[in-house]
Structures are given as structure tokens and as C-alpha cells.
Amino acid sequence: MIAAILVMALGAVVLGAALGYASIKFKVEGDPLVEKIDAILPQTQCGQCGFPGCKPYAEAIAKGEADINCCPPGGEEGIRKLADLLGREFKPLSEEHGVEKPKSVAFIDENTCIGCTLCMQACPVDAIVGAAKQMHTIVPKLCTGCELCLEPCPVDCITMVPIPETVANWKWKYPTFAIKKVTA
């Protein structure tokens, strides 16, 4: 009986000491997971997830503080990729964070714009060009469609315009066959 206790205690002490030593000796800083999650997120920096940007949301997911279905711009596919990466089950997009919309870019009605620079301050990717008391405009190529500039505009001159389908961005459709009625 004594021997058993001694042996187990000895084992516990030796293994505990080894692990304790290793955890100090082989300590690693940083979390590569955040980078991987951040790479999947759409980088709109829209804050619809409740975090101030894509990176903070990625950090929250990595820490387990946020769910994977809070990103409307990433859509269903983004959630699937996150689920794949983290080995979690797929969940539909959480409704409180918004709905998946067609990709759009912001457009400033230049006749109404008063040049208040509020939208420029709100834009997370510096996609708005302008100066105080000068007309502003949005560089469509850089706009992520985060809608953050809509709220601050005092004259409501910003609208979201869906990106039109052109010959350049047109995609081949999934092959389908029309089902025909067989005449008897």
C-alpha cells in the first residue's frame, strides 16, 4: 500500500517537474491562429460582428470569445471556411449581426455633399478622397462596402450601389438542364 502511494507520488513528482520545466523552457509567444482566421475574414472592417475590425474579431474567435457566424460580409462561405479551419460545426449566419447582401460600393451624390469630411474620418480603408468644404468622392476600387460612412453623413448623400455584372466579372453558371415534360 505504502509502496503504491510512493510509486504514484514519485511518478507525479517526476512528471510534474518535467512538465513544469518544459512549460517554462519552451514557452511560445503569439498565436498563429489569429492570422489564419484573419486571412479568411473579408477585411471590410465594417464592425457588424460587434468588434472594431476584422483583426479584433479574429482574436476574439481564437480566444473562443466570439462565435464564427457573426460576419455578414463573409457570408455562408466564410463561416464554412472558419468551421473547417477550427474544426467546428457549420452554423447559419447569426441574424442579430445582419444579413448577407450583394456586394456593393458606397457612392456619394456630389450635388448634395457639403464637404464635412465626416465620412472620410469614418472610412476604415481611406477610400474617400476630399477635403474640408470640398466635394468628396469614393474610390470604388478601394471601397469594401462596409457602410460605415452612411451613418455620419449629415446630409445623407451616400448610397450603396450594388456592383453591376460586367463582361469582365461575369461568371460561368453551374451547368443545369431544363427538365422537360415527356409527352406520353
Interface contacts to another protein, rule CB under 8 A:
3-4, 7-8, 11-12, 15, 18-19, 22-23, 25-28, 32, 38, 41-45, 53-54, 84, 87, 124-127, 142, 144, 165-175, 177
C-beta of 124 vs 152, nearer to another protein: 124
> DSSP assignment of 83-111, as one string?
HHHHT----PPPGGG------EEEEE-TT
C-beta of 26 vs 183, nearer to another protein: 26
Nearest distance, CB of residue 72 and another protein, angstroms: 15
Q: CA-CA distances (angstroms) from residue 146 to 23, 83, 134?
A: 43, 23, 23
Nearest distance, CB of residue 13 and another protein, angstroms: 12
**CB atoms closer than 10 angstroms to residue 61:** 26
Nearest distance, CB of residue 156 and another protein, angstroms: 24
Amino acid present at 80: R
The span from the CA of 124 to the CA of 142, in Å, is 11
C-beta of 19 vs 155, nearer to another protein: 19
Nearest distance, CB of residue 98 and another protein, angstroms: 18
C-beta of 125 vs 135, nearer to another protein: 125
The span from the CA of 67 to the CA of 83, in Å, is 10
Nearest distance, CB of residue 4 and another protein, angstroms: 5
Is 53 in contact with 124 (CB distance < 8 Å)? yes
C-beta of 25 vs 133, nearer to another protein: 25
Q: CA-CA distances (angstroms) from residue 25 to 12, 100, 111, 166?
A: 19, 47, 65, 58
The upper half-sphere exposure of residue 46, i.e. CA atoms within 13 Å in the direction of its Cβ, equals 23
